[in-house]
Amino acid sequence: MRISHIALVSSSEKKANQFYRDLLGLKVLRSTLIPVSLSRSLFGVEQEVKAIDFGNEGIKFEVFIADHKEGSPFKRLDHICLEVEDRGTLLKKCREMGLEVLQVPKGDSLVVFIKDGDGNLFEVKEKK
């Protein structure tokens, strides 16, 4: 298992660029818009959300640009993405342990999240 990326929320693109690009020296790898249907299904957020990937050969941050004040649903965007050898076996074990598994179709594939016992969110991808 390895960490694929860490997803965090920033209140503005300017602040995200200042920290991840200017301070940490990471490159902007891509910028995308998460459609309402996907942000609703995965995070309970009823709007399109911009995401910027910052990274280098050793680390990748997926930064959602959104208002994330206390109590805001945007705080639910924070997660860690894990790459595992066998996602099916891990998900079976999660269900056996009573942990929440969320699977949402995205094109021809599934986006999969699990929650630990405290509600922390983990995206799970299978290693390629």
CATH of the domain at 34: 3.10.180.10
pLDDT tens for each residue of 14-51:
999 999 999 999 999 999 999 999 988 888 888 899 99
pLDDT higher than threshold 90 for residue 83: yes
For the chain, the first-to-last Cα distance in angstroms comes to: 12
Mean pLDDT of 100-125: 89
SS (H, E, C) the chain: CEEEEEEEEECCHHHHHHHHHHHCCCEEEEEEEECHHHHHHHHCCCCCEEEEEEECCCCEEEEEECCCCCCCHHHHHCEEEEEECCHHHHHHHHHHCCCCEEEEEECCEEEEEEECCCCCEEEEEECC
Q: Please tell me the pTM assigned to this model.
A: 0.80
Q: Alpha-carbon distance 106 to 103, whole Å?
A: 10
Q: How many domains does the chain have?
A: 1
Q: Alpha-carbon distance 124 to 128, whole Å?
A: 12
Range of the domain at 65: 2-126
Higher pLDDT among residues 17 and 71, named by residue: 17
